[in-house]
Structure 1
């Protein structure tokens, strides 16, 4: 029973399966093209709720259809290029027309059997099977210059690289069951600041090697990592309005560069997701996840990683053509099995948690966005962990006021320059937000908002404030982007002092009841700049050049630390991942 709850749910709903497409993998560059088209359309597309990611490929094509049906003079040549690119990428959902009887076709297939379609190395379409297979490759190398104020072994110039080889496949069976699978084998030597981050959020006590956003890793050479990356799921429609997705992947809730509700920062996890559309304006999403508590495991032993679970739901409502509001709730709990009490898809989880003794971690959130003048999007999020209004009005800095706030905006075609897009975003989280307490019966990490020792929301955890600015420019195949930020957070000066930044820590070890504020502890300020140029050689094959500068100033030694990286890379069907922290 306890090992098959998800499968029972799937079999129950699969009695009336209908056609369903896979989802486009999470990719900030790719998704920006979609979000830009939605802003340009100046209203929410019918049934398209962009706060919940990843996006369904069929829905992406429906969005492009609605734009092409009513084109405006504001669309640039690059916009039409992006429309063609998105439609070629999901060509199986494009309806043939007299002008384009075979969508996505290549002009010159390779050996007559390969690249018959621009997006697929190989594809097969019959009455029973729709199959798309493509290689997934990432080769990147760069030179890093790290410099500390005090003498440090990391000083000097060294080589960074990423070497990933894999395969991606998607499709459908019998026009009813969609599927997706990705697998890659990877070796990497990351910049110094990523290695430091990995030592903070590592799988084992004292573990050196870690890859942000990935699960199990092995050490490679002296300072590198070797790991496998795999994701996969099945998806189908049960009834007419309910979509079910079951598999191992990441999810994202929000409209910003960051998400304070649920982001793609952590490793992939097992989940079952139920998306219910009620008319054209309402979408209700249930997400049941199987997470792993990898904290405090002995590095020298092969042990079964203890499980933990999270049940989430999100209600997205297009209250008008320009305003969307979302409500979010999550419950993180630890049992030797899935707790059936949280499988009720429409109950208030805080009530269930209270009825069971309030031993679990309850979080409540709100997100909203407003689209106006065909050029602007304003968005925001609020996450409430533990929140006591009386303590907030007292103004004494009570630790119980655990909340996070996001406010941001996007401005496309800025200053009437076609395809120049700007984004500003502010995020903050009070100390001890997302963390939770342990007890004699609950080991550390069992109920914090963490999976595989990595935060499920913001990569900095809590006790931080940041401002980000993002600039993007595109001219068809050529694009450039820059990410600039200032981040301030409070770190723990020693392992036995918990100032509320590292959410792996038990909040019962906090420094005090009152007087808590953002930046307490070892106050650290980071200045971050990341500039990248990219050219698409052919569909989903990118040649990139990048320069990164990061400066860290802390109240304690090493007080100042700078990191500079210049690199070149070739990407083929693998998203570029930003490690901004």
Structure 2
């Protein structure tokens, strides 16, 4: 008992010199400047579990990004609020608050059917600090939008706007949706950060993640981060939802019932083995409420804070879905690095040696390279990434226990049974920005007149669960146990190109004027769709919206 009291005293009494314990935003464009500053620093930081906590890094962003930000006293109030500062700032000795409106007011047109497309987003961000140990953040966005034809088809099928929650009909072809997020961050000592709230996370160093990404909607979470020099350990507990449950079970009056819950417990151990090599181990387990024949809620067995939950899961008669993975990053120099991931859902070494394409050999990998200041041109970056995931990875016999949330994958937007090549070129000059993104993907999806799961849609059962439970809309299972090949099913090909030009207005909210040109070509064995579009307008580019699938 005395030892425990001493340990707690040690944790909460460690001297504090940093007081911003809120997070950097996940948005890729926003994170561009953050990562470049970290990469050029000789100190070995752990940056593969995102969002990053500000107090872990000596980065005063966006101050110092532009010379006029540090010369606010020479500017008028209107100029400062529009280009340099938050709209509302309140500073006292023991606390401070920052608040700004955020927007996505864009207008455009899709060439197909000459359809007008637009996004009308209004919202706010509020964050601040209380004393030296507590920070907080809150955000809300109200949206109405008309999307490109392929996105409308996705939303009509899944009932969610990609990554942004439940969609309601708005006028003829539009959608209305809202997004709220927030958290409290507590740093009792330099060793620990505790966060709880409603949001997203991303594991990895690439554009995509095969372990955990911000592809799906926000979820309630508890995050505990432990920092011990070259070792960085993160526990993440989350509550997820299966919003297709009622349709699957033919339950009426769904508007009067809450969506069924399922839970996730994840561990992430990051090790800086050498000055330029980081190796990380990932583990995640999904379990659902009311697992027959018992009646389960949050299973306290999975509160174990130590990595490797598989023995615990096995001791519970193996009812749940466990994934393990690796993340590696090799820093070539202070401007470039190579990275990779490996995800294992189920795996049989004997069947792999027999080369019999066993269905339960469910795995995927990622290989990537990223470099800043290419050709010695400051504020440029080039990234190339290859992703490969076998059929049925992330899926489960009971789809309620798949690696998904709110009708979307917690990892890659394409689900499984795919390969993908991503290349991104960025350039910034003062407030001007340029980005060219190109994606080529190939995957095997389902046929419209066939209930067989070919391993792409993780919300379809991998077995006969629908038949045994009298359910619908989750397929009739896999076609066989062996001979499961990549791209089996409805062979689909995707080619996506997007070109963005931007002018940064306010770096605190990453408010930009953006002109975007895009082309998406999709073809499978049943149909073909070409979407050419352009949009322009004002956007607070703080969050990732993945429409490139």
TM above 0.5, yes or no, is: yes
Assess if the C-alpha contact under 8 Å between 1:39 and 1:375 holds in 2: yes
**Is residue 215–residue 546 contact of structure 2 (8 Å, CA) maintained in 1?**
no
Rounded to whole Å, the distance in 2 between the matches of 1:436 and 1:317 is: 31
Residue 524 of structure 2 corresponds to residue 554 of structure 1? yes
- Residue 362 of structure 1: CA displacement? 0.5
Measure the CA separation in 2 of the matches of 1:502 and 1:86.
46
Distance 1:222 1:242 in 2: 50
In the alignment, the residues of structure 1 paired with residue 10 and residue 404 of structure 2 have an alpha-carbon distance, to the nearest angstrom, of 30
Instruction: Describe the SS at the equivalent of 1:489.
Output: strand
Question: Cα 1:128–1:109, aligned 2, differ >3 Å: closer, same or farther?
Answer: farther
Q: How does 1:3-152 map to 2 (within 5 A)?
A: 19-41=19-41, 43=42, 45-46=43-44, 48-60=45-57, 62-63=58-59, 84-85=64-65, 105=72, 107-110=74-77, 115=81, 118-146=84-112
Quick one: distance in 1 between partners of 2:241 and 2:13?
A: 33
The separation in 1 between residues aligned to 2:190 and 2:24, in whole angstroms, is 22
Match in the other structure for 1:498: 453
1:450 maps onto 2:407 in alignment: no
Q: Residues of 2 paired with 1:197 and 1:106: CA distance? A: 49
Structure 1 residue aligned with 2:304: 344
Greater displacement, 307-316 / 297-306: 297-306
Contact kept, 8 Å, 1:422 with 1:469, in 2: the verdict is yes
Q: For residue 442 of structure 2, what is the aligned residue in structure 1?
A: 488
Matches within 5 A, 1:348-427: 348-427=308-387
8 Å contact from structure 1 (residues 20, 236) kept in 2: no
Structure 2 residue aligned with 1:535: 503
Structure 1 residue aligned with 2:200: 250
Q: Shift in Å at residue 573 of structure 1?
A: 6.1
Name the structure 1 match of 2:137.
180
Q: C-alpha distance in 2, partners of 1:177/1:87?
A: 30
Shift of 1:56: 1.7
3-state DSSP class of the match of 2:30? helix
SS in 1 for 2:23: coil
Q: Name structure 2 gaps, 5 residues minimum.
A: 1-7, 290-295, 464-476
The correspondence for 1:284, drawn from 233, 238, 248, is 233
Question: Hey, what's the Cα distance between the residues in 1 that align with 2:85 and 2:408?
Answer: 33
- For 1:463 and 1:420, the matched residues in 2 are separated by 33
Counting matched residue pairs gives 512
CA 1:13–1:142: 2 relative to 1, 3 Å: farther
1:225 paired with 2:175, answer yes
1:236 to 182, 186, 197: 186
Alpha-carbon shift at residue 300 of structure 1 (Å):
5.5
- Asked if 1:566 corresponds to 2:534, the answer is yes
C-alpha separation in 2, matches of 1:507 and 1:533: 44
Aligned to 1:192: 149
Distance 1:462 1:16 in 2: 47
> What is the Cα deviation at residue 52 of structure 1?
1.0
Distance (Å, rounded) in 1 between the aligned partners of 2:84 and 2:410: 35
2:359, 2:480 within 8 Å by CA — same for their partners in 1? Answer: yes
Q: CA deviation at 1:111?
A: 6.9
Distance 1:576 1:432 in 2: 26
Instruction: Deviation per CA, 1:46-94: give whole Å up to 9, x if none.
Output: 4x3110111122334x1569xxxxxxxxxxxxxxxx77139999xxxxx
The CA deviation at 1:117 is 9.5
In the other structure, the counterpart of 2:243 is: 294
Secondary structure of the residue aligned to 1:457 is: coil
Residues 351-370 of structure 1 deviation map (CA, whole Å, 9 limit, x = unaligned): 11100011100000000001
- 8 Å CA contact retained: 2:310, 2:322: yes
- In 1, Cα distance between the equivalents of 2:482 and 2:207? 32
Moved more, 373-382 or 135-144: 373-382
Long gaps (5+) in structure 1: 1-10, 66-81, 90-102, 147-155, 204-209, 439-444
Cα contact 1:161–1:190 (8 A) shared by 2? yes
How far off is 1:293 after superposition? 1.2
Structure 1 SS opposite 2:114: strand
Equivalent-residue separation in structure 2 for 1:369 and 1:347 (angstroms): 20
Deviation per CA, 1:124-178: give whole Å up to 9, x if none: 11123210010111100111023xxxxxxxxx11011110001110001233211
- Aligned 8 A contact 2:82 2:505 in 1: no
Matched, 1:465 2:419: yes
**Alpha-carbon shift at residue 258 of structure 1 (Å):** 0.1
Given candidates 109, 112, 123, the residue that maps to 1:166 is 123
Specify which of 205, 213, 216 is matched with residue 266 of structure 1. Answer: 216
Q: CA, structure 1 residues 396+32, in 2 after alignment: closer, same or farther (shift >3 Å)?
A: same
> How much does 1:196 deviate?
2.5
Taking the aligned partners of 2:495 and 2:443, their CA distance within structure 1 comes to 12
Matched residue of 1:58: which SS?
Answer: helix
Q: What secondary structure does 2:427 align onto?
A: strand
- The answer to whether the 8 A contact 1:137-1:574 is kept is no
Q: Report the counterpart of residue 260 of structure 2 in structure 1.
A: 306
**Could you list the per-position Cα deviations for residues 263-309 of structure 1 after superposition, in whole angstroms to 9, with x for gaps in the alignment?**
00000000000000012x11000000011111232485312101000
Contact 2:30 2:541 in 1 (8 A): no
Q: Where has structure 1 moved over 6 Å in runs of 4 or more? A: 11-18, 86-89
1:576 Cα deviation from its structure 2 partner: 5.8
The answer to whether 1:212 aligns with 2:162 is yes
Q: Aligned in 2, Cα 1:116/1:129: closer, same or farther, shift over 3 Å? A: farther
Distance in 2, Cα, partners of 1:430 & 1:477:
42
Could you list the per-position Cα deviations for residues 177-213 of structure 1 after superposition, in whole angstroms to 9, with x for gaps in the alignment? 110000111101111122223345x14xxxxxx3110
